[in-house]
């Protein structure tokens, strides 16, 4: 079940938001302060945090920044009693998925929550896809590198077999070239390329 954390220092507003969201089948947790909210986030897998902008102590925007940094799988929606362009811009910059102004219609809240959850799901899927792709690229690169090194060694041995007087010459040249590259403080990739070229 989707879990939503409602963060507001007004008990009546927490109760109202909880009722609206519970009627839509969401499971709700409640916090009156940023500290309480952080405790819930540490102990529970929260899908979405619904945060009041102006609270006693830590502001909703500060909490949103914390969630964005430490809980990337949690979406954040901001709720405020007054519209201020600077506050709205700061909220969006903090990584929130939306900005709801009180008083709001129940349907407006539900639509914003559903959209935020849908966007979160897509972002998580995209992040996992990129991580999987990066892993596959690294594996494929390592495989190609091993194949290339194997081909170079076969060619080197073939040449040395034809001319036994130069046996080991290429390997010694590669070793000297690598030593010089290391003294020149070249990068690991450059040194590896020089080693392959020397062989």
- Average pLDDT score, the chain: 84
Residue with tokens 């990584």: 95
CA–CA distance, 177 with 140 (Å, rounded to integer): 27
Quote the pLDDT of residue 82. 75
Residue spans per domain, the chain = 3-130, 137-198
- Quick check: pTM over 0.75? no
CATH topology for the 3-130 domain: Rossmann fold (3.40.50)
Would you call 8 exposed, middle or buried from its count of C-beta atoms within 10 A (0-12, 13-18, 19+)? buried
pLDDT tens digits, 156-165: 666 666 655 5
pLDDT tens for each residue of 73-89: 999 999 988 777 787 77
Query: Is the pLDDT reported for residue 120 higher than 80?
Result: yes
Per-residue pLDDT band at 16 (split at 50, 70, 90): very high
């Amino acid at each position: 079940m989707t879990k939503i954390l409602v963060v507001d220092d007004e008990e009546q507003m927490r109760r109202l938001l909880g009722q609206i969201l519970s009627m839509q089948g969401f499971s709700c947790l409640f916090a009156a302060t940023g500290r309480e909210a952080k405790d819930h986030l540490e102990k529970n897998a929260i899908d979405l945090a619904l945060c009041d902008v102006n609270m006693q102590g830590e502001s909703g925007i500060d909490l949103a920044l914390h969630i964005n940094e430490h809980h990337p799988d949690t979406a954040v929606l901001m709720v405020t009693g007054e519209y201020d362009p600077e506050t709205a811009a700061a909220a969006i910059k903090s990584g929130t998925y939306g900005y709801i102004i009180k008083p709001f219609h129940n349907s407006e809240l539900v639509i914003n929550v559903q959209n935020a959850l849908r966007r979160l799901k897509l972002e998580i899927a995209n992040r996992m896809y990129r991580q999987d792709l990066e892993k596959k690229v690294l594996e494929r690169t390592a495989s190609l590198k091993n194949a290339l090194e194997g081909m170079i060694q076969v060619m080197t041995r073939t040449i040395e077999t034809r001319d036994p007087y130069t046996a080991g010459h290429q390997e010694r040249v590669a070793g000297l070239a690598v030593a010089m590259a290391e003294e020149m403080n070249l990068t690991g990739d450059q040194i590896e390329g020089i080693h392959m070229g020397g062989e």
